[in-house]
Amino acid sequence: MSQPADVTVRTGKGLVQEISVGKHALRADVPAALGGTDSAPAPHELLLAAYGACTSMTVTMYAQRKQWPLEGIEVTLRLTPAPQPGGKERIERDIHLRGPLDDEQRKRLREVADKCPVHRTLSNSPEIVTR
């Protein structure tokens, strides 16, 4: 896998954040109830979007290599708060595979989903260094 582009985030108007990812631009915001304008996804939503996109891409590439009849994939993610203070948040991921796949192919594709790079990063609790 190639090295991901650097990500730069700059403040915009209010709580809007202007995000540069290599040559791409996107934004983040928070709902009005939290002081934002809800003009863009919130940071946790962007995290889930990255996880879902990586899952879908990884599964799709594997199915293509195997020449399996995967016609599409839908990944739905949700973040649930920690059940108690000091507990862990939980990410729930539902993977819906479309196409005339047999049970073994479906099972294998669900296993492959855990090989996506974002899944591995989240599962390994990466070290975060702040300067």
- pLDDT at 129 (0 to 100): 95
CB 50 within 8 A of CB 19: no
Phi and psi torsions of 117, nearest 5°? -55, -35
Average pLDDT, the chain: 96
Which architecture does CATH list for 42-125? 2-Layer Sandwich (3.30)
- The token duo for 79 is 């973040």
* pLDDT, position 1: 58
pLDDT digits (tens, 9 = 90+) for 67-101: 999 999 999 999 999 888 989 999 999 999 999 99
Cβ neighbour number for residue 39 with a 10 Å cutoff? 15
Main-chain phi, psi angles of 43, to 5 degrees: -50, -45
Q: Where are the domains positioned within the chain?
A: 1-40, 42-125
pLDDT of residue 4: 83
Q: Which two tokens stand for residue 100?
A: 């005339």
State what percent of residues in the chain have pLDDT above 90: 90
pTM recorded for the entire structure: 0.92
